[in-house]
Amino acid sequence: MKFLFCLFLAGAACAATPDWNRLETAAVDFLQRYIRVESVNPPADTRAAAALVKELLEKHGIPVKLLPSGPNGQVNLLVRIPGRDRSKKPLLLLNHLDVVPVDRKAWEVDPFAAVIRNGDIWGRGTMDMKGIGAQHMFALIALKEAGITPARDIVMLSTADEETNGTWGIRWMIDNHFRDIDAEYVLDEGGFGTRDILAQGKLVFGVAVGEKQTAWLRLRARGTAAHGSQPIPDNANVTLMRALDKAIALPPAKPHPVVAEMVRNIGGPLARNKYTDAIQVNTASLTTLSSGVGSPAKVNVIPSTAEATIDCRLLPGVNAEEFVSEMKARINDPRVSIELISPADDPGASNSRTTLFEAIRKAIVKSNPGAIVTPMLVPHGTDSVKLRMKGIIAYGLTPMVLDLSTAGSMHSDREHIPLAEFRKGIHVFYDLLASEF
Ligand SMILES: [Zn+2]
């Protein structure tokens, strides 16, 4: 009846306006309680976190399904809000219940107290990603209160195990419950709004449409074992050191089309920092070195082998095997072997010419007048890659304006987000989910 009545009225006129004051206050209160649940991974016991989310949503009339997956209390949480056009595949809101561990001594505040100071909320998971998860949840609650049936089904999945490669989270869901989460679009973490990270002095919202591929390499040099008192030319450590110098000196990469589009949309070059540097080229970080004989390693023994690992991140579309062959040719030393030790997953970037992308742009600009909204690449990995591999269009949307130091607090001992941005982000998700997409 309500639906028929709405047909005669223009757009939102038929919907009740959510009581935003009350909802925003409830959202901040919920986020505090959510952070106080220490759902640290490992072991990723997400029973308490999932129970808290279930209680919240069911109190607002949104039914929740819990899907226990792993041996240590890993639980995934699933919600489906039926839409008007059920012939369309759903939009999947993806967030995770687990957080990375903390080094308590290094924190100025208790990482699980959800302290609010100077307008920021501090704690493990505020950024990654209980904050965005709470925004998803309160946008769904606001839709419900407004009496809005979304354009198509909306599914929300809160996974148990994002922070150790998704074995009991997204991978388990794909293997065991793919029909429940099969979607046309996914909104995941990644991307953000900023005034300094992407372009100096311009408000830019990057929506992640692709991420760099992980290519972890192990280099091993072989030589001759000998007494440290008499130097030899065939010292595995020296061979490795010379090889590493050449290994990490990567040749320039062909610019990626998504980065070219970012530059066009921003109307000038990207700001210079480690984040924007990383999304424009292939990168190599030397992360571990190991060598020596005995424990502790003897100073007077030249070992016969030496090893290093390099965390390489390649632009989408770069062939990892060719990348390794080129590195071998650069090193050009038969005593050094290179092994690719991570799986090669490169689904490429998602198409940004979609109705959903346009709806995202409108929703962001409504809450952030004058903002430039652009597709972007992110330098790190997210669960989106696993869904892109299944042919789903995945975007990373963090609808908050963050500065370099706040964005950089993820996984650190100063993780925090501005509360005003947290509140505003709920509106962005609400406007998006209430629109045609
Ligand atoms: Zn995360």
User: Tell me: the pLDDT tens digits for 274-286?
Assistant: 999 999 999 999 9
Percent of the chain topping pLDDT 90: 92
d(Cα 206, Cα 347) in Å, to the nearest integer? 20
pLDDT tens by residue, 166-224:
999 999 999 999 999 999 999 999 999 999 999 999 999 999 999 999 999 999 999 99
pLDDT tens by residue, 7-52:
444 444 467 899 999 999 999 999 999 999 999 999 999 999 999 9
Spacing, Cα 356 to ligand 1 middle (Å):
22
The per-residue pLDDT for 72 is: 95
Bridge pairing between strands 336-340 and 213-222: antiparallel
How many Cα atoms are found within 13 Å in the side-chain-facing hemisphere of 421? Answer: 22
pLDDT at 115 over 70: yes
d(Cα 150, Cα 140) in Å, to the nearest integer? 10
The per-residue pLDDT for 358 is: 98
d(Cα 85, Cα 157) in Å, to the nearest integer? 20
The per-residue pLDDT for 165 is: 81
Which region, left, alpha or beta, applies to residue 381 given φ > 0 means left and ψ of -120 to 50 means alpha?
A: beta
Res. 5 pLDDT band, cuts 50 70 90: very low
Spacing, Cα 416 to ligand 1 middle (Å):
14
Spacing, Cα 189 to ligand 1 middle (Å):
7
Percent of the chain topping pLDDT 70: 97
Give mean pLDDT, residues 223-228. Answer: 98
The per-residue pLDDT for 381 is: 87
Considering only CA atoms, which of 169, 164, 158 is closest in space to residue 133?
Answer: 158
Bridge pairing between strands 204-211 and 192-194: antiparallel
pLDDT tens by residue, 101-113:
999 999 999 999 9
Spacing, Cα 382 to ligand 1 middle (Å):
7
The per-residue pLDDT for 408 is: 86
Spacing, Cα 171 to ligand 1 middle (Å):
15
Spacing, Cα 129 to ligand 1 middle (Å):
5
Give me the residues near ligand 1 (ion), CB cutoff below 5 Å: 128-129
Q: What is the mean pLDDT of the chain?
A: 95
The per-residue pLDDT for 343 is: 85
The gap between the terminal CA atoms of the chain, to the nearest Å, is 24
Contact by Cβ (8 Å): 21, 138:
no
